[in-house]
Each structure stands twice: as C-alpha cells, then as structure tokens.
Structure 1
Amino acid sequence: MRANRSTSRSNQRGISFIGLLFVAIVLACVGVVVAQVIPTLVEYQAIDKAANKAKEGVTVPEVRAIFDRAQAIDDFKLSGKDIVVEKVGEKVVVSYSYEREIHLFGPAYLTMKYKGQSR
C-alpha cells in the first residue's frame, strides 16, 4: 500500500528557512547583549569582594584606603570616595551603589543599577 502523499505532507512539521533565520537573528542579538552585560557582573563581584575586604579597617580613611588598593588591583571604576562607610554596633559596614550603561543601538541604552554592602 502506498501512503497518501497529500496527508503525509500536511503532517510534516518543522521550521521554515525564514523562521530559522528569524530565530538566529534574535539569538545573535541576545548573545551580543549578554556579552556586554557579563563584564559588568564581573566588575560587581570585584567591587563586592573589595567592600568585604575593606570592612576590616578601623577608621574611615583606612577603610577607603583598603578599598582603593583593591580597586587598583582589580581595576574597576568605583573608588574609595564613592563608598559609604558606617558603623553598625561594633561592625563596620561598607555600602555602595552605581550605574553602568550599555549602548544597544541608536538612542537605546540598557542601564544596569548595582547596589550592595559588605556582609
């Protein structure tokens, strides 16, 4: 017995070339944005590590100096002047907040707002 050709074609499923091209373009655009976001996440981790190290200082100038030394090593854009140093009970708490902009296309930007404090 022969299979009915019209039925077998209507049962076929898949993606057309145009659909495949559209999916590839969307994935490429998402990949480009992700590739630009990852360095800001690495920078955030370095700043968080520096804030946790800086809380070991006793005075405010000492905390800022420890943070600036970590900034010189890890090469991020935040400096000791940009952090807030507070004493909560017996603990020194270093907090920070900053923004990074990623240019997407034309007038469109992706703004990443980071905020954190030492643990």
Structure 2
Amino acid sequence: MSSCRLSPSSPSRSQRGVTLFGLLFWGVIIAVTAVVGMKVFPTVLEYYTVQRVVDRIAASNPSTVPAVRAAFDQSRQVEYSIQSITSGDLVVTKDANDKLVIEFAWDKEVDLFGPVYLLIKYRGKSR
C-alpha cells in the first residue's frame, strides 16, 4: 500500500500568512487610528456631558434665561470635563408648545501631528 503524502516542496500546497510588508502596513494603520481615537475621545465625551447637563436643565424648566445660565455654570463647576463651552454660548428659546429649548454649538480643533488638525463641529439642543 502506498500512501499519498505531500512533501513540503509540493506545488499543490502553497504557504499562507502575512508578509512583513503587510504586517507593517496594518500596524501603521492601526497605530494611526488608535492615536486619532485617543485624541478625539475626550472631545466626544465632553459633548455627551454637555448634552446630559443641558437636558437636565431643560427638564427642570427654569423660569428665566439667567436661571438657565446659572444652572449651567453650577454644573460646569461640578463636571470637570466641560471646558469648551460657557453659559454665554447657550441659546435659550421656547418652542411652539411653550417648552424650554437650550441650544449649544462649538468647534474643536484637535492637533494630530505637525501642521495637521482635525476640526470637529459640535451642535446640539435639549430634548
């Protein structure tokens, strides 16, 4: 009985794997993505913190615009992550149902490397 075994040099069996160039390419892509993500994440976290604070203030339905600004300033002292926006940047209006609407917006430049910046425009309003 003869067995049909393939030798390591058999042409019907090709090697599979990642080349050194492929490994370096994907390593660079992953590293750049990680660096950008680490620089952008704090700004996204700040946006969600501002959104949460504005929603909480709008739900309490303060009677005047200075009361809204004072509540935001008080929350800003507690929430250390709010740095890009102040109470003066809030636009306070009422909608057709006489419900309080608080809008906010700011631009954030994230320094990536050298002369390269990422501009993020944050906009939001109370629910």
Task: Give the structure-1-normalised TM-score.
Answer: 0.90
Misfit runs of 4+, over 6 Å: none
Contact 2:39 2:112 in 1 (8 A): no
* CA distance in structure 1 between the aligned counterparts of 2:71 and 2:55, rounded to whole angstroms: 10
Deviations 1:67-116 (A, max 9, x none): 11111111212111001000113211000011111111121101111100
76, 79, 90: which is aligned to 1:74? 79
Equivalent runs, 1:1-119 vs 2, <5 Å? 1-3=4-6, 5-8=9-12, 11-55=14-58, 56-75=61-80, 76-77=82-83, 78-88=85-95, 89-119=97-127
Please, which runs of 5 or more residues in structure 2 have no aligned partner? none
Q: Which has the larger radius of gyration?
A: 2
Task: Quote the sequence identity (%).
Answer: 38
Instruction: Tell me which protein shows more helix as a share of its residues.
Output: 1
> What is the number of residues matched between the two proteins?
118
Please, which runs of 5 or more residues in structure 1 have no aligned partner? none
* CA distance in structure 1 between the aligned counterparts of 2:99 and 2:65, rounded to whole angstroms: 12
* CA distance in structure 2 between the aligned counterparts of 1:8 and 1:25, rounded to whole angstroms: 34
* CA distance in structure 2 between the aligned counterparts of 1:65 and 1:23, rounded to whole angstroms: 50
1:2 Cα deviation from its structure 2 partner: 4.9
1:13 Cα deviation from its structure 2 partner: 2.2
One-letter amino acid of the counterpart of residue 36, structure 1:
K
**Aligned residues: CA RMSD:** 1.5
